[in-house]
Amino acid sequence: MNIAVIGASCTPYGEWWDKSLRDLLAQAQLTALDDAGLMPKDIQEIFVANMCAGQLSTQVNLGAMAADILGIHVPSTRIEGACASGALAVRAGIAAIESGRAEVVMVSGVEKMTDVDHTRVTESLMSATDYETEGFVGATFPALFALVTRAYMHTYNLTREQLAWVSVKNHKHGALNPSAHFRKEISVQDVLKSSMVADPLTLLDCSPMSDGAASIILSTPDFAKKINKHDVKIIASTQACDTLALSHREKITQFYATQYAGQQAYKQAGITPRDVNLVEVHDAFSMAEIIALEDLGFFDRGTAGHEIAQGKTNLNNTLTVNASGGLKAKGHPIGASGIGQIVELVQQLRTQCGARQVHNAKIGLAHSMGGLGATVAVHILTNKE
């Protein structure tokens, strides 16, 4: 696989009460065009990722909105896959190019979550679970991830302090990111003493509800070379699924879909986990990062929490994880999150990240997860020829 990323843009994530869904999407799309040096007429197809606009903004048909913003009439389609919506939209864009249907494709994601009642947001997010067996009885995502966390702590002797280091590290990285929702460092004690959400998870173990948008422009290698934008490319794009209900899994301390998607991505790219320099993983909850790093083969089962606490995943250490601040600190506007991860990797591989720049970054991996590991997508990017 060789798909060029010729434009990349991400709005700041946060509580944007003065910006509409359309405002955020337009900002990301137009800035991505500027980054690529293209005009709207150059875009041949559009994919837009979103999960909650129908419930929270009373707005669907976002494909038409995205084309309307650019003033063009090309095919434009909304993609939904819960928190993995953005990554699935990227896969759709890649498929459009590989099929020969389009040479230049825009992939965007947007979510507006903060200026509505939190109960509505919680109910909307619960629709990504198996609602008949989980959501209907009030099993929210924090509650389900608390079950996963307790099972993992019991099985592998993970300490509460080790778990807290995930958030501490990601906030430290987020403090260096001008686009992050939270730009403040925290301590282990801050995490432990924050409000309890679902035992053992506290408020600072959970990603925030954020507004934001992200956009990338993909093209064939030939088009990228023609406009001298061939420095970053996607060399693997995979997806896998598991049971929608957590209760239907054989094990809940690992996510099979991540393992399968990761294995297929390494095979597609012709690399191993040891070749990866930086990773953006789905850390909607601190426990999710630990499991993802083990499922992706970066650490042995039951050891990632210890390694994180030892600083092994800090900026420019053994493996830089979530240099952006991750969903925890950068923010988690659902539809934009997976594309925002790709934007971070592109900017890192272009050496555009300033204080959070990963030294000698050559290969980056993005991992996006919808539901509790029900839908997973993995992308691998490189700046190597």
Taking a C-beta distance cutoff of 8 angstroms, is the pair 105, 93 a contact? yes
CA-CA distance, 330 to 31, in Å (whole number)? 19
Taking a C-beta distance cutoff of 8 angstroms, is the pair 170, 322 a contact? yes
H or E element in which residue 191 lies: helix 188-193
H or E element in which residue 367 lies: strand 363-370
Q: Residue 107: beta bridge partners?
A: 47, 216
Catalytic residue among 52, 83, 206, 353: 83
CA-CA distance, 222 to 103, in Å (whole number)? 9
Taking a C-beta distance cutoff of 8 angstroms, is the pair 219, 104 a contact? yes
Does residue 248 have an active-site annotation?
A: no
Taking a C-beta distance cutoff of 8 angstroms, is the pair 140, 254 a contact? no
Angle at 380 between CA 374 and CA 384, to 5 degrees: 180
Does residue 332 have an active-site annotation?
A: yes
Q: Count Cβ atoms below 10 Å from residue 72 Cβ, excluding itself.
A: 17
Catalytic residue among 332, 353, 367, 379: 332
Would you name the residues annotated as active-site residues? 83, 332
